[in-house]
Amino acid sequence: MTTSGFPVSEGFVPFRGFRTWTRVVGEREEPGKAPILVLHGGPGAAHHYLEPLAALAESGRRVVFYDQLGCGRSDRPHDPSLWSVALFVEELAAVRAALGLTRVHLLGQSWGGMLAMEAAVGQSPGLVSLVLADAPASMDLWVTEANRLRGGLPPEVQATLRKHEEAGTTDEAEYQDATMVFTRRHVCRLDPFPECLERSFAQLGEDPEVYHTMNGPSEFHVVGRLRGWDLTARLREIRLPALVLGGRYDEATPAITEAVHRALPGSEWVIFENSSHMPHLEEPERFRETVEAFLGRAESPPGRAGRPTEEPAASGPPWSPVGPESLFSPGGRRSPRRSSGRTTRGSGGRRRPARPR
């Protein structure tokens, strides 16, 4: 099997008596480069919607996908007691060990970014860099921002959501239809949805056990085990090049991704102006260019990495933040890099080479 001209190998990794499905695009790395391991969101959304990231193999590295236990082509044990952050961190380590990914970049999208942060805080050896796409470091902030966005939905949609949440009938079609209004504004603004995203949505709808156990019935009604999860204070322990990404209309709002950027020493921060929660689908070329350039900087020998090119500010009004003004106080950090423009660097810690729920 090939993808974009690259050979593809698929298989299973044994994990806790179950099987985790994997796909590797490409055969080897060019000198000095490391493979990239892609962590999907959800939890429980499977890898399908991230398949376009296989194109990163064109930068001279393998791109590795896997379906986390409980979804996609991996085994799906029906036991809610299994699902925890610790299990998925352990599974990530098992995949790395089985595939020999001793030196690797992690690219986590949404929940996958949360998982990547957990692995990095745990001082997982051999990590080269982190790409944290559309990911929070605090579920309390996530819920606050999601409910702020929810407040912008039509009144009748808000009433429907509230009715079913209060009645405990969030599995009814009317509730699901109401959440789709939010999805089309803040998860993916493309119409129609890309086929790969439709497959992720379909499998999540068929078997939502992991999502419901970890998160809850919707993106803004978080009552599962991730409720109250917060890694913000520990991000300062991470000493890796890191790229924080988000969309202008993202449910992981600029306030959320800026909070990650502020807490993560030396990180870069990029906002995609025409995207919501899926900039890899909504602005695929710019997303790929941004990630490839960052990976190159992260792989450069210390002291030899060049700074990202600074371009003149785009014409028109200045970037305006979305979210609590306290996060954007006067005299604070610069505005984030626009998807076609500048890089913002963190100030906490050592210099990065020029410098992702």
- In order along its 357 residues, the chain shows pLDDT tens digits of 546 689 999 999 999 999 999 999 999 999 999 999 999 999 999 999 999 999 999 999 999 999 999 999 999 999 999 999 999 999 999 999 999 999 999 999 999 999 999 999 987 899 999 999 999 999 999 999 999 999 999 999 999 999 999 999 998 999 999 999 999 999 999 999 999 999 999 999 999 999 999 999 888 889 999 999 999 999 999 999 999 999 999 999 999 999 999 999 999 999 999 999 999 999 999 999 999 999 999 998 765 444 343 332 332 222 233 332 222 222 233 346 555 433 454 433 333 333 334
From the list 235, 237, 239, the residue with the least C-alpha distance to 258 is 235
What is the CATH superfamily name and number for domain 2-143+226-345? Alpha/Beta hydrolase fold, catalytic domain (3.40.50.1820)
pLDDT at residue 221, as a whole number: 85
How far does Cα 285 stand from its chain's mean position?
17
Specify whether 277 is catalytic.
yes
Catalytic residue among 40, 67, 105, 110: 110
pTM for the structure as a whole: 0.86
pLDDT at residue 319, as a whole number: 28
pLDDT at residue 254, as a whole number: 98
φ, ψ at 131 (rounded to 5°): -115, 115
Specify whether 110 is catalytic.
yes
Torsion of CA 272, 277, 281, 286, to 10 degrees: 20
Catalytic residue among 277, 280, 335, 339: 277
pLDDT at residue 75, as a whole number: 98
pLDDT at residue 339, as a whole number: 55
Catalytic residue among 74, 218, 250, 335: 250
pLDDT at residue 275, as a whole number: 98
pLDDT at residue 122, as a whole number: 84
